[in-house]
């Protein structure tokens, strides 16, 4: 699908720290790009970051990509969760534990969604430099639905604990 007419812009955060995380991210990008109703526009560089939560796990590899899609946010979530499952993601009650792949819808157009299953903008986006830094790399003039500019948010979180690969 190459047309971008009537398509929405969405940003997806990618993260992994198990089973060759860099390859997990690369494989996920190929899977996202092959989905119907999605055009993968651009992906950030890869970044290494310290884990949130339990520190007895490997560092994460993170990236952000921008897509154009005609999928609804819920349909997009379903597709992303299928990719996670196909790459060995096991959902556990443990928050911020190790994982083969984590795909998060960070932003979808200028929508603000808060349902039991989906929160857009992603609930932690404004506090996570491992999301904001790659997001800023691909969209340096981004303004969030609440009017905040990405550079304002970056100033508040800093660059500590993250390394561009």
Instruction: Give me the DSSP letters along 16-54.
Output: E-SSSHHHHHHHHHHHHHHSTTEEEEEE---EEEPPSS-
Phi, psi of 63 (to 5 degrees): -160, 170
Active site residues: 89, 99, 102, 104
The whole-angstrom separation of Cα 153 and Cα 108 is 18
The residue to which tokens 């932690």 are assigned:
124
């Amino acid at each position: 699908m190459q047309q971008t007419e009537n398509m929405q812009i969405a940003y997806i955060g990618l993260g992994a720290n198990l089973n060759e995380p860099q390859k997990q991210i690369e494989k996920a990008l190929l899977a996202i790009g092959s989905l119907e109703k999605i055009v993968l526009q651009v992906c950030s560089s890869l970044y290494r970051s310290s884990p949130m939560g339990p520190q007895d796990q490997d560092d994460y590899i993170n990236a952000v990509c921008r897509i154009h899609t005609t999928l609804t946010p819920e349909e997009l979530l379903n597709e992303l969760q299928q990719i996670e499952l196909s790459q060995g993601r096991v959902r556990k009650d443990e928050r911020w534990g190790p994982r083969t792949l984590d795909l998060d819808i960070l932003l979808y157009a200028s929508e603000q969604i808060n349902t039991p299953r989906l929160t857009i903008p992603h609930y932690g986006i404004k506090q996570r430099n491992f999301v904001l830094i790659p997001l800023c790399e691909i969209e340096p003039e981004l303004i969030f639905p609440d009017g905040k500019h990405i550079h304002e948010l970056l100033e508040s979180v800093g660059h500590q604990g993250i390394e561009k690969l």
